[in-house]
Structure 1
Amino acid sequence: MRRADATAVVVTHNSERQIVAALTALRQAQLPVRLVDNASTDATVDLVRRRFPEVTVLVSTTNTGFATAVNRAAAGVDTDVVLLVNPDCVVAPNTVAELVRVIRSRPSVGIVGPRLVDAQGRIAISAHRFESLTTVLASRFGGALVPVGLRRMFSGRQRRAAYDACVSGTEPAAVDWLSGACLAVRTDLFVAIGGLDECYFLYYEDEELCLQAGRRGAEVLYVPAVTAVHTGGASSSDPAWIWPHLYRSMLRFFARHRLGSLRAVRGAVLLRALIGIGLAGIRLPVQPRAGAARLRAWTRVGRIAITPRETRGGA
C-alpha cells in the first residue's frame, strides 16, 4: 500500500488507556491520522500530542457524539479511503493494506471491514443483517438466557450466513452491515452519503452508513482473511451512560427504516427496562454500586421508551 492511499479517523473520549496501542499500529501502517477528542477529562489529548506529534488533533470542548466527531475529522480528506478506527481497536499494517487493496481493486465495493477479535483472540460477531423486530428480540432481549443455537434457529437464513462468515468464513462475503470499530470506506462514497448520520449520538451510525451505501449500489464486504483486535471499553463502562444511547439510537433507526415495527420495539424496550429495574433492585443490597448504576441505566431507558420525541433526530 502506498502512503496516502488512506487516512485514518479516530475519535477519543477518555481513551488514554487504549489510544497508544491504536495509534502505534496506525503509525506502523504509515497512515496519516486525524483524531477528534470529544471533551476528555483524562490525559488523552496531552498523551497523543506528546507521543504522536504527527497526528492531527482536533479538540472539542463538549462531547458532540461519535458521528459528529468523525465527520469533523473526515472533512477535506483527499485520500481514496477513509479508515474509521475506534481508539480501542488495533489494526495491523497488513490488515490496513488488504482493506485498502480490496476497495481499490473492486469498484463495486464501498465499505470493507476485517474480522474482529478480542484481546484473547476470540472472534466477535461483527457482520450482520439489518435489524428487524425478530433480531432485536433475539439479540437484545435473549442475551445469556437464550442459547446461541436457539437464537440462530429463529434468526433467519441470511442472519445465520453472516454469523457463519464471522465464525468460520475464509473468503470475502457481502453483508448488510459491519461493526464500525474498524471500517474502510471509499471516500467519494462517504462524501456522497454525507458522512455519518449525526442524529445518532452513539451506536447505529455504522448500520445507517452501510444501509445508505447499499442504497447507492455499493457493496459492503466482510474480509475474514485479516483481523483487527477490538478490546472494547475505550470511553465508558457506565451503563447509565451507555445503555440510554444504545436504546435511543435503536428506536431512531426503527423510526426511520422499520416504522411498522416501531411500536412493538418500543414496547419491548419498555418491558426490558422494567425487568432490568426489578433485577437491579434485587442486586442493590448485595452490590450497591453496580446495582445503583443499573437502576439508573434502566430507568433512563424506560423513559426513552415512553417518550416519542426520543425517536427523532438530535442528541
Structure 2
Amino acid sequence: MVTLSIIVVNVKEKENLPRLMASLKKSTYKDFELIVVDNETTLGDFKLVKIERDLGLAYCRNKGVEISSSRFLLFLDNDTEVMEDTIEKFFEFINKNPDFIVQLKLIKDDGRIDAAGGIIDDLGYPLELFKGSIVADFIPPANILYAKGAAIGMSKDVFNMLHGFDNEYFYGYDETDFCLRAVKKGKKVVFLSSAVVIHHEHGSFSKLSKEREKRLAYYLESRRLYFVFKNFNYKFLLPRIHKIFFYFIGSIFMDIFHRKKNYLAISRIKALIWFISKFYKIIIIRLKDRKTTFLTKSN
C-alpha cells in the first residue's frame, strides 16, 4: 500500500495535466498514487475516476478519495507544477503531524505568492495572506484559518472525520468550509512554506470576460452566503445579518448604477435565490451541529 494519494480534478483545462504529471515523475518522493477525476476516459499512469457529470470541485475531490488506498491525501489543481522536493517535504511534515491540514506554498510563474492560506472577515469574505509577496522557504509552519484547494493536504482520518468536502460548493468556499469545520473540532490548519507548488492558474471558466464575471459573481456570492449561515455561530452571526445583506444589496445597486453591468446584478439575484433554496438544509445542518462554536472573535 502506498503512503500518499495525490488527487487531481481534470474536468477543465485538460491541456495542463501533462505538465503536472511530468513534474510528479521528477519527484524525489515516489511512494504515492496519482488519482485523476475526469469526465472523459483519459489514459495515463494513474487511477482514473470517470464521472458522468461535472458537479463541482468538492464533488470531484470526494469521488477521488473514494478509491484512494493510502493514509494521507494531497489535492492539486491540474494547472499546478511541483518542485522535485515538494512532495517529500509535504509528506515529512504531515507524517509527523497527522492531525493538521496543510497549505502548500503556491507561487505564480514569477515566484510571488499566489496562496499561503488565509483568514475570513466577519462577512465571510476570504483575506489571503502574503498574496503577491515573496515569502522565504525557511519560516516555520504558521497557523491559518483556511487553505486553498489548489494545493491542500491532510490525513484520510481527518478527511473522514469531517465527512469530506460539502458537495454544495460547486466552485469556491469548499476548502474554506472544510478547514473551518476542522478548526471547530480542534484541528490546526498550517502554511508549509518549504513545500512549493507553481500555480499557473489559467482558470476553469470561459476566457470571455463577461461570462467569467457572471459565473464568478453567481458561484462566489451564493456559496459565501451558504458558508456564512451554515458555519458562523448565532452570537457571531445575528448582529451581522443586516450588514451582510446591506453589502449584498449594495453590490446589486453598484452593478446597475455605477458599474453599468446589469448582468452582474442578475447573477447576484440568482445567487440569492439559490441560497434561499438551501436554507432548510442549513437549518438541518445547524441543528445537528448546534454545539459547535465559531472560533473567530468579533471585532
The 5 A counterparts of 1:30-69 are: 30=30, 31-37=32-38, 39=39, 45=40, 48-49=42-43, 53-69=44-60
Distance 1:307 1:181 in 2: 26
RMSD (Å), alpha carbons: 2.7
Tell me by how many angstroms 1:186 deviates: 0.9
Greater helix percent: which structure? Answer: 1
Does the 8 A contact of 1:248 with 1:310 survive in 2?
Answer: no
SS in 2 for 1:32: strand
1:128 matches 2:95: no
The 5 A counterparts of 1:196-275 are: 196-237=165-206, 238-258=212-232, 259-260=237-238, 261-275=240-254
Tell me by how many angstroms 1:272 deviates: 1.6
Distance 1:65 1:307 in 2: 15
Distance 1:36 1:240 in 2: 26
Distance 2:275 2:198 in 1: 38
Distance 2:88 2:24 in 1: 11
The amino acid of 2:276's aligned partner reads R
The change in CA–CA distance for 1:200 and 1:263 in structure 2 (over 3 A counts) is farther
The change in CA–CA distance for 1:15 and 1:125 in structure 2 (over 3 A counts) is closer
Distance 1:117 1:303 in 2: 34
Deviations 1:254-289, CA, capped at 9 Å, x for gaps: 1112332344223312322331344553xxxxxxxx
The change in CA–CA distance for 1:235 and 1:306 in structure 2 (over 3 A counts) is closer
Deviations 1:198-253, CA, capped at 9 Å, x for gaps: 12111111111111222332221101123111121342142222321111110001
| Unmatched tracts of structure 1, length 5 or more | 40-44, 140-158, 282-293
Q: Percent identity?
A: 17
Distance 2:242 2:52 in 1: 37
The amino acid of 2:155's aligned partner reads R
* TM-score calculated relative to the size of structure 1: 0.75
Tell me by how many angstroms 1:311 deviates: 5.1
Distance 1:113 1:13 in 2: 23
| Residue aligning to 1:111 | 101
Tell me by how many angstroms 1:67 deviates: 0.6
Distance 2:18 2:265 in 1: 33
Hey, which bits of structure 1, 4+ residues long, moved more than 4 A? none
The change in CA–CA distance for 1:308 and 1:69 in structure 2 (over 3 A counts) is closer
Does the 8 A contact of 1:25 with 1:93 survive in 2?
Answer: yes
Tell me by how many angstroms 1:310 deviates: 5.0
| Unmatched tracts of structure 2, length 5 or more | 207-211, 283-299
Does the 8 A contact of 2:113 with 2:135 survive in 1?
Answer: no
The amino acid of 1:88's aligned partner reads D
**Count of aligned residue pairs for this structure pair:** 266
Deviations 1:124-154, CA, capped at 9 Å, x for gaps: 2432123322x73x96xxxxxxxxxxxxxxx
The amino acid of 1:98's aligned partner reads K
The farther-off stretch of 195-204 and 121-130 is 121-130
